[in-house]
Amino acid sequence: MSVLPWHEATLVRIEPAAPKTLRYWFEVPGLASFDFKPGQFVTLDLPIHEKPNKRWRSYSIASWPDGSNRFELVIVRNDEGAGTTYLFEEAAVGSVIPYRGPQGVFVLPEVLDQELFLVCTGTGIAPFRSMIHHILKSGILHRNIYLVFGTRVQTNLLYHEELTALAAAFPSFHYHPVLSRESWEGETGYVHAVYERLAARHPQAAFYLCGWKEMIREARERIEKLGYPRSALHQEVYG
């Protein structure tokens, strides 16, 4: 496989998303349209080291293909990480950052003929936000979509109002936020109990997992114990 070339993107907007989490919008001046498949990622070449491979940081695209030359990333700060330290402290509107992509095979099949379970934690919501908007706004035929999104507290529920509104507007989309460290009117605990309960009603389903490796490891074990084949599981590990 040939290596994709590097291009330049201009940072055009920054907004807070949650504590220690920011949304970044990039524009690619040389493109009329930034085309990608929901679920793919871009790699940024950040000015943080003299060795190229120590400058590269990859992030899933949180926006969806809309015909524009922009894309959105949602990034949580790692206080010990040089990449997010640069993005949070030095990058600003107008910064020009080399990027490579889109890349990745964590994408949906051409035909959505099974129930979809999208299970994530933290900024693992990014590729699923892209997929959900693309499916619902493009009128793609699909079965039920279940998004199970786990985080510690309510202030870390990224895109919560937006996803709640989508669930109200589209009966086929079911949004299940889960908090592990805070009591609230919604579900509490961990994501595993929620998707296990929901999946028990659907013998034919596909599972997409995105988040920290420990969550994904446990989810794979639990889903296989439910009787689903390994071919039904797809994953993208963060961190």
Region 151-158: mean pLDDT is: 97
What are the tens digits of pLDDT across the range 174-203? 999 999 999 999 999 999 999 999 998 777
Region 218-238: mean pLDDT is: 93
Q: What is the pTM of this model?
A: 0.95
Residue 239 confidence (pLDDT): 58
Q: State how far the Cα of 195 lies from the Cα of 207, in Å rounded to an integer.
A: 10
Residue 1 confidence (pLDDT): 46
Q: What one-letter code names the amino acid at 18?
A: A
Q: Which of 82-96, 115-129, 133-147, 193-207 has the lowest mean pLDDT?
A: 193-207
Structural contact between residues 36 and 101, judged by C-beta atoms closer than 8 angstroms? yes
What are the tens digits of pLDDT across the range 51-74? 988 999 999 999 999 999 999 999
Mean pLDDT score of the chain: 95
Structural contact between residues 48 and 89, judged by C-beta atoms closer than 8 angstroms? no
pLDDT at 129 over 80: yes
pLDDT at 92 over 90: yes
- For 73-93, give one letter per residue: b (16+ CB within 10 A) or e: bbbbbeeeeebbebbbeebee
Q: Which of 5, 40, 12 is nearest to 26 (CA)?
A: 12
What are the tens digits of pLDDT across the range 5-18? 999 999 999 999 99
pLDDT at 2 over 70: no
Region 164-181: mean pLDDT is: 97
Region 115-127: mean pLDDT is: 97
**Which domains are present in the chain?**
6-103 (2.40.30.10), 115-238 (3.40.50.80)
